[in-house]
Structure 1
Amino acid sequence: MSTETGTSTETGTSTQRTDRRPVTRRFHRRYLAVVLVLAVVAALAAVVGSQQGPRLRDVSYDATGLVSRPAQRVILTANQALQQVSADDVRVTPAAAHTVTSSGNTIAVEFAGPLAYDRDYTVTVANVRAPGQRATADLTAAIRTGSTDVLALVPGADGAKDRIVSRSLDAGGATTVYQGADISEYARLGRSLVVVSGSDASSSVDVVALSGGVQDPDAPVEHLTLPSSQGRVTALHVADDAASFGFEYADTSTGQSRNTGLYVVDMTGTHLPTAIAEDGKPQTGAVPMTVGQWAYVPRTESALVRTGSDDLVLVDMSGRADPVRLGSATYLHGFVGSGTTAVVETGTGIERLDLTDGAKTALRVPAASTDAAVLGRIAPLTDDTYLRVLGDVRSDGTVSARIVRVDGGRASRLPVTVPDDASVTAVCPSPNGQFVAVATKSATDELVSIVDATSGALEASIDAGSVDWCGALPSGDEVG
């Protein structure tokens, strides 16, 4: 009788049976060992974390946005969830006004206004802790803001083309961005450039694509179709979000200017100029609203318009909101950097106009800021600080100009040299108010000097008539 272990006679096949229990036990032991090790590591990490407190895992920010726009944020991300953080827990060095919000493991530090160019800042959050833990820690983030450049129009000499050049303030030299004949105005439009060319009788408007900061040679130039076969384009302005731009247009096809007023080009739509009608709404074929001065309100799609009859109207250039009537003014000087306040001149004086509710407060004008025969435009820097050009008339009828800086109730001369044979044509603050472009013109020369808005120290100079910072100032028939 045969008794072979592992033989199955029912199936007619032979299978080798092996006792797997020792292997299974070894696997279970190894698995439990791994689990125990992981548990120990996790427990140790929790102990260490509870003793050390949270740590900074990541910092994110837009270096360019921090110097050009308000309400920009620096986001600090910790390695674990945090208890609520308040503004008192956060210190910014050098000091800058800010608010703080926190959620989960992130802390958002939002700045009230643009920061200084090309500067190191430190953001420190004190005594942060994770929920249920005793240990606290300080989170410290180092950030560096971006630098800036300006665009300037350099007229061509001896029949050469005009050039729009880019000049960085932290490096010498200039780069040609675009060149063409008879350029009269230009403005940045996101990653493009809007260029107005031509004569007083006939203008053209082109949208030029940029690549690497200069004209893209592979992208076609978009030539806009204007409202009539011939017309003059002036007072070009661009919305900060690049969704639209506008200008004043006068139909000259009959040899006389007519239907002169405000037009908008919606870059999210047809790209066709549309009249802003007298009711403050974009309307194809309408008679346009007459304009004395106008400009986009910074960081919005709304425009502040002083009409030909000196009415003040806040116009939504997209047409989605109704226009807002804000009384009247005889002159628009400019906007405070935050964009919610305009400086306007009325029959009773110079006032700050709150564009959110129409409230007006008198602007402080120390005696030294009005002690001259010629009073120029005010260039606002903050709610209480501005620059103004004053001029004394010489015996030969020319004007000797100087620039005054007003800080609250105190006025002092900004030490900027203006050549005796030149006049100041514009004073244009940078987006963050740190610098100012002073444009001067003589019988033979045009020059833009970029100076520190506080000390007057020269940062750069360009042989040009103006820079793109001036595009933020209200312009129109009475400017210049």
Structure 2
Amino acid sequence: MSTERRDRRPVAHRFHRRYTAVVLVLAVVAALAAVVGAQQGPRLRDVSYDASGLVSRPAQRVILTANQALERVSADDVRVRPSAAHTVTSSGNTIAVEFTGPLAYDRDYTVTVAGVRAPGQRATADLTASIRTGSTDVLALVPGGDGTPDRIVRRSLDAGGVTTVHQAADITEYARLGRSLVVVSGSDASSSVDVVPLRGGVQDASSEIEHITLPTARGRVTALHVADDGASFGFEYADTSTGQSRNTGLYVVDMTGTHMPTAIAEDGKPTTGAVPMTVGQWAYVPRTESALVRTGSDDLVLVDMSGRADPVRLGSATYLHGFVGTGTTAVVETGTGIVRLDLTDGAESALQAPAASTDAPYLGRIAQLTDDTYLRVLGDVRSDGTISPRIVRVDGTRASRLAVTLPEDASVTAVCPSPNGQFVAVATKSASDELVSIVDATSGALEASIDAALVDWCGALPSGDEIS
């Protein structure tokens, strides 16, 4: 027994010495790291952002995470190149740079935070993050023919060719709904509405298509619009089950609830079984579940499609052109002119309209790009009575022609800005052809073209006939 104890004692002693040595080394390393950190200042550990969100929605963030807690960072400490309006918040070891509006497509940005400091340390450092925004694509409806189905295709602007997303007979309208696609098909007498699941940007063949039950046995669906968050979609519906259109008006489908169409009643509330509100034009206000509705009697109403808030009466309008920037302002036409209407308080301000933006017999819809910039289609009357169109760009008090090439014998049926206003889809129609040209909104340079009638960017504009 005594021999075994004598044998074990040196082993235990050696283990204790090694353990002590390791602890001392780690302590020295930690101390050195602390000294180096104090001398060098904080370091950037991680950067996170949504590349596609940065180009399609405002109020998107780039999050910078440092290797240690930081003193408060202000907006004056942050520089973005190329320049982009932003705000800054910081907490702990993270800095959030939030951009006021969408950024440009497919572009490199540098975010630099100058002079960051850890609490209690003297050393400062600059944190620099490089980000690259996403590219964009459009969905377009390509009509079939000779027994072939209609196709909804995706066209990327940074690559040639198209990808078929979904195909079916007699497609009339469609809209993106989160990771799904809402598709309206049928005829003037009878429509169907399907929610098509997507996977990898195309129809998911392993999942079933959801067929929405419409209010009556037969009816016509038009003016489809989808809320940005995908929580609901709405449309105008006309009951044709009696052979005559009746009870024509606005319906909403709550995708967080029953998925059943519910009438928006005359009082502006979603009500099962109610006579629906008549609609001249309508669209979801960007990034909300509220809809701006011009009724059949030209009343202007802000409707909460979820039913959680009371409707807001905003006077009257003869035409809805669209929304400005983040969506809290709409461009509407009244009996006395075109105004910018603040949807938060009902305040109106005159729209800048230089002489060169109104000097034509035909004045089309205004497509707002930024708070101060918009496009408008103007037209002169040809000898055969058709319209010879041109597109004018208005920047504040200056108006100039957008250098976009339009087919000689075609009319412009729509001008639809991209979500960030960098590009615009110009839809044209001639006797033999329909074409959508994607052009740079500043220079008019052609980016892509599709043999189609419209693209999904147009779904953000209020439904209704163009001004004539």
Same fold (TM over 0.5): yes
Preserved CA contact (<8 Å) 1:183 1:197? yes
Q: Gaps (5+ residues) in structure 2?
A: none
- After superposing the two structures, state which structure 1 stretch, 24-33 or 291-300, moved more: 24-33
The answer to whether the aligner puts 1:181 opposite 2:169 as a matched pair is yes
Query: Which residue of the partner structure matches residue 261 of structure 2?
Result: 273
In 1, the alpha carbon distance for the partners of 2:460 and 2:466 equals 16
CA positional deviation for 1:216:
1.4
CA positional deviation for 1:337:
2.8
In 2, the alpha carbon distance for the partners of 1:235 and 1:295 equals 8
- After superposing the two structures, state which structure 1 stretch, 125-134 or 371-380, moved more: 125-134
The answer to whether the aligner puts 1:137 opposite 2:125 as a matched pair is yes
The answer to whether the aligner puts 1:213 opposite 2:228 as a matched pair is no
CA positional deviation for 1:395:
2.0
The answer to whether the aligner puts 1:303 opposite 2:286 as a matched pair is no
Match of 2:415 among 427, 439, 462: 427
Q: Deviations over 1:322-369 (max 9, x none)?
A: 111111111100011311111111112111111122211111000100
Preserved CA contact (<8 Å) 1:296 1:303? yes
In 1, the alpha carbon distance for the partners of 2:168 and 2:107 equals 36
The answer to whether the aligner puts 1:350 opposite 2:338 as a matched pair is yes
The answer to whether the aligner puts 1:56 opposite 2:60 as a matched pair is no
Listed as ranges, the matches of 1:61-210 within 5 Å are 61-210=49-198
Number of aligned residue pairs: 468
In 1, the alpha carbon distance for the partners of 2:217 and 2:116 equals 66
In 1, the alpha carbon distance for the partners of 2:314 and 2:271 equals 22
> Could you say what secondary structure the match of 1:210 adopts?
strand
- After superposing the two structures, state which structure 1 stretch, 130-139 or 106-115, moved more: 130-139
In 2, the alpha carbon distance for the partners of 1:46 and 1:160 equals 70
Preserved CA contact (<8 Å) 1:292 1:477? no
Query: Which residue of the partner structure matches residue 416 of structure 1?
Result: 404
Q: Deviations over 1:388-408 (max 9, x none)?
A: 000011222111100000000
What amino acid does structure 2 have at the position aligned with 1:325?
Answer: R
Match of 2:351 among 359, 363, 371: 363
CA positional deviation for 1:433:
0.3
In 2, the alpha carbon distance for the partners of 1:17 and 1:151 equals 82
CA positional deviation for 1:120:
0.5
What amino acid does structure 1 have at the position aligned with 2:234?
Answer: G
What amino acid does structure 2 have at the position aligned with 1:295?
Answer: A
Query: Which residue of the partner structure matches residue 12 of structure 1?
Result: none
Q: Deviations over 1:293-313 (max 9, x none)?
A: 000011111111111111111
In 2, the alpha carbon distance for the partners of 1:235 and 1:110 equals 34
Match of 2:321 among 310, 324, 333: 333
Aligned-residue sequence identity (percent) comes to 88
In 2, the alpha carbon distance for the partners of 1:241 and 1:166 equals 21
In 1, the alpha carbon distance for the partners of 2:392 and 2:186 equals 36
CA positional deviation for 1:228:
0.7
What amino acid does structure 2 have at the position aligned with 1:126?
Answer: A
What amino acid does structure 2 have at the position aligned with 1:411?
Answer: A
Preserved CA contact (<8 Å) 1:385 1:405? yes
TM-score, normalised to structure 1's length? Answer: 0.95
> Could you say what secondary structure the match of 1:451 adopts?
strand
- After superposing the two structures, state which structure 1 stretch, 431-440 or 222-231, moved more: 222-231
Preserved CA contact (<8 Å) 1:364 1:409? yes
What amino acid does structure 1 have at the position aligned with 2:250?
Answer: L
Q: Deviations over 1:382-427 (max 9, x none)?
A: 1110000000112221111000000000000001111221100000
Q: Deviations over 1:56-87 (max 9, x none)?
A: 00000000000000000000000111111111
Preserved CA contact (<8 Å) 1:428 1:437? yes
Preserved CA contact (<8 Å) 2:108 2:133? yes
Preserved CA contact (<8 Å) 2:365 2:467? no
Report the aligned-residue RMSD: 1.5
CA positional deviation for 1:29:
3.5
In 2, the alpha carbon distance for the partners of 1:372 and 1:304 equals 29
Q: Deviations over 1:21-49 (max 9, x none)?
A: 65555444433322222221111111111
CA positional deviation for 1:144:
0.3
Listed as ranges, the matches of 1:450-461 within 5 Å are 450-461=438-449
Query: Which residue of the partner structure matches residue 279 of structure 2?
Result: 291
Query: Which residue of the partner structure matches residue 11 of structure 1?
Result: none
Preserved CA contact (<8 Å) 2:182 2:195? yes
Match of 1:390 among 349, 361, 378: 378
> Could you say what secondary structure the match of 1:195 adopts?
strand
> Could you say what secondary structure the match of 1:64 adopts?
helix
In 1, the alpha carbon distance for the partners of 2:317 and 2:109 equals 41
Q: 1:479 to 1:295 in 2, by over 3 A?
A: farther
What amino acid does structure 1 have at the position aligned with 2:379?
Answer: G
CA positional deviation for 1:50:
1.1
